[in-house]
Structure formats: structure tokens, C-alpha cells
Homo-oligomer: A and B are copies of this chain.
Amino acid sequence: MTAATVLKSENTIAAEMRRVAQAAKAASRPLALADAETKSQALRAAAAAIRAQEKAILEANGKDMAAAEDRSLTAAFKDRLKLTPDRVEAMAAGLEDVADRPDPIGRVQDEWMRPNGLKISRVSVPLGVIGIIYESRPNVTADAGGLCLKSGNAAILRGGSDSLHSSRAIAECLREGLRQAALPEDGVQLVQTRDRAAVGEMLRQHDLIDIIVPRGGRSLIERVMQDSTIPVIAHLEGICHVYVDGAADPKMARDIVLNAKMRRTGICGAAETVLIDRSQAEKQLPAIVDDLVQAACEVRGDAEAQEIDNRVVPATDADWETEYLDAIISVRVVDGVTEAIEHVNRHGTNHTDTIVTNDVETAETFLSGVDSGIVMHNASTQFADGGEFGMGAEIGISTGKLHARGPVGADQLTSYKYVVRGGGQTRP
């Protein structure tokens, strides 16, 4: 391309993103005012459209898969990209689940009367326009679009470019759902260009987009947080810890460590580090390592852990801050709950951390001292999930402290307004 062509293409993308954001903003007001039944109707119609369009969606996905083959992408990447009839059905069922849940909008969160007779209510309202930036998992198009619709927000979806055909076919079904419920179809828009410049342009529309939710790997999220002029709900990786206290039940500690690491290694709530109290280490660590090694998990550890069990290979400083997302775990011997808390707050990502102990006081020290969105006592970190919390579908787990922390579902994609009802009061 000549310099002039590049410039023209950049201008085109900027203009296109501006148009998309304006259309979203225009759609956001009718969506914000839509009642619960209308939104549920749109979600059910979208689910029906996904079922009706199964063939077209799978065909579109076939194009994406073929291109992925040509580009020799990894097997894990292709697995995330691939759709099957079961996965298509799961998207449709997911939208129906969202439709069935209580409406998050218009809830009176608090209400009180002032001495002067003013009645003040705090009422949940949509955020407005939400930009979702994600990688090549086509199902996120349905999940994220559905949660935005449920919460009365207009969604701008920017999926990974390798999944464009699939996402386009799915987004069309969501728009069909909106049309059938007489809601503006631009309540869900998919960014149609593969050019990465589109993300940068999206992050500049701070007068039209209210919030950005990035969902993906560390580099994507860090780039978005760096470049965005729009507030971001951060979903950093989960470096989750299990602390086995001196007063832990040995069997429970083994079960929780094994489950927290190995049930599924690829989710953000999987444990990456075990901290074990020195008083318990010699007796307990070999049994814990037994379980892990038997499950084909590599165990890395500090000098003390290596000395106790020679199957433990050396850990470096980097291990304490690595999200393996794989069958690898790091182990460190610590001096009680205080050192455990220090380790977690220093090396963790404020995601999910658990203590195993039968000492209630020690447990409370851990629960209040660890500065994470989710803290647990005698439970596996793998429960860090909106569904497991009973909150329904989620976009992810927020590791930031602002606005939403922990699982981000439809309830968290809301703001509130104060409604003040008077009888002519003026302020003295």
C-alpha cells in the first residue's frame, strides 16, 4: 500500500467506528427503557434464530476453520474457534437461561425519606453502550451480546479476526431477536473489519461508549487498559493460591489442592501456587505431591519444599507470578498465615485465593487480610465462577476494584440513578 492508501484506510476505519458508536448510542436509549418482557422476548427470539440458522453458522465457522488451517494455528486455538452442533445448541440454551433470570434494571436498591418530605430512591439503570473486545471464541459473541441485551445496554462486539465469519452469523441472530421484539437492531453490532486499527478507534469514542470490557490474554488486556480513554472493567489473569494452614484437615487439604489445580487447568480460577505452613509441611507436602504427580502435574518449589520431597523441581522467582494454565504448580513453605497473606498480596492478581484450616480465627485473618475479589475458606478456587455463585452467566471475573469485582454478569453491567420525588420543596 502507498502512504496515501494507508491514510485513506485509517480514515475509513475511524469513520466506520464513529458511525458504529453513534448507532449504538442511539439504540441505547430505547433499550434502556425496554421492559423486562420485551428484552426476554428478544433473547428467546435470538436463541430460536441461532437454532434455525445452525447450518449457516456451521458453514461460516467452516470458513474460519479453513483459514485457521492455512495459517497453521495451534490446536488449542482451533479448539476455541471450532463450533459443533452441540456448541451451537449451548449458545441458544445460554441465551434462554439469561432470558429466564430476573431483570437487573429498574430495581430499587435503596429508598428513604428525608425530614423535609423528599423521597429518595436509588434505582438500577443500564450503563449505556458497552464495548466488548475478545479473542477468537465465537460463543462470546452470543454470551456477551446476550448479557448486554439483558441489562439494557447496547453492545459493540469486537471479536478476534479469525472468527469473523462465525461471529457475524451469530451476531445476525441476535439482531434478528431484537427486530422481532421491536427493539433497535443496532443494540448489538459486530465490528466488521479485521483491521486492528478498529480497536484503537473504538477506545477513542469516550463520548459515546460508556465502558470497555476486554476479555482475553494478558497482552490484549494490558494494551486495552493502556490505550483506552474509556473506563475499563479489567479481567486480568488469575494467579490463585491455596494456603494449607498448620491447622488444616490433611485429607481436605489434599482434595482441595488437587481439585483447585487439576479439575481444569485452563480456567482463570485454577490454582497456580500452594503455600504450606512450615509446621505442617514435612508431614503433609509428600501426600499433596503424591496426588499431583499421579495426576501428571509438574511440581516446582522453593528450597525447603525440594528438601522435603525430591520430586519437587526448583522454582524461580518468575514462578510466583506465572499463570501456567497448565498442569504445573509452584509450592512454597511459609511461616504461618501472616506470611501467606503477604505472599498472596504481593504475587497474586487479586482474583481468588483460599485457605484450608480448621481454625476459624486463622481463617478470618486470611479472609480479611487477602486483598482479592474472591476469598475462600475450605473450598476449591475452581468455584470462582458466576454460575457456581448462582449469579448466572458472566462475561468474566473482574480483578479491578472499581465498579465490579469478582464475577461480572448482567447485574454488574448496570449503574444506578437517584430518583427524588417531592411536593414542591425548595432548599432553604
Could you tell me if B424 and A118 are in contact, using CB atoms closer than 8 angstroms? no
User: With contacts A231-B400, A417-B406 known, is A425 near B210, CB below 8 A?
Assistant: no
Give the residue name and chain of the B residue nearest to A407 (CB).
Answer: B418
Residues in B neighbouring A406, C-beta threshold 8 A: 417-418
Indicate the member of A249, A369, A427 with the most B CB atoms within 10 Å: A427
User: With contacts A128-B401, A425-B378 known, is A229 near B226, CB below 8 A?
Assistant: yes
For window 168-190 of chain A, which residues contact chain B by CB distance below 8 Å?
A: none
A403 proximal to B (CB < 8 A): yes
User: With contacts A379-B420, A419-B375 known, is A402 near B127, CB below 8 A?
Assistant: yes
A268 proximal to B (CB < 8 A): no
Q: How far is the CA of A269 from the CA of B375 in the complex (A)?
A: 41
User: With contacts A226-B229, A376-B420, A421-B378 known, is A33 near B369, CB below 8 A?
Assistant: yes
A368 proximal to B (CB < 8 A): yes
The prevalent SS among residues of A at the interface is: mixed
A259 proximal to B (CB < 8 A): yes
Residues in B neighbouring A289, C-beta threshold 8 A: none
A165 proximal to B (CB < 8 A): no
Number of copies: 2
User: With contacts A229-B226, A259-B426 known, is A421 near B382, CB below 8 A?
Assistant: no
For window 372-428 of chain A, which residues contact chain B by CB distance below 8 Å?
A: 372-380, 382-383, 388-390, 400-403, 405-406, 415-427
A371 proximal to B (CB < 8 A): yes
Could you tell me if A402 and B415 are in contact, using CB atoms closer than 8 angstroms? yes
Supply 21 A–B pairs (Cβ within 8 Å), ascending by A: A114-B388, A118-B383, A127-B401, A128-B371, A128-B401, A211-B401, A225-B229, A249-B424, A256-B426, A258-B426, A263-B426, A375-B417, A375-B419, A375-B420, A379-B421, A380-B426, A382-B426, A402-B403, A405-B417, A405-B418, A406-B417
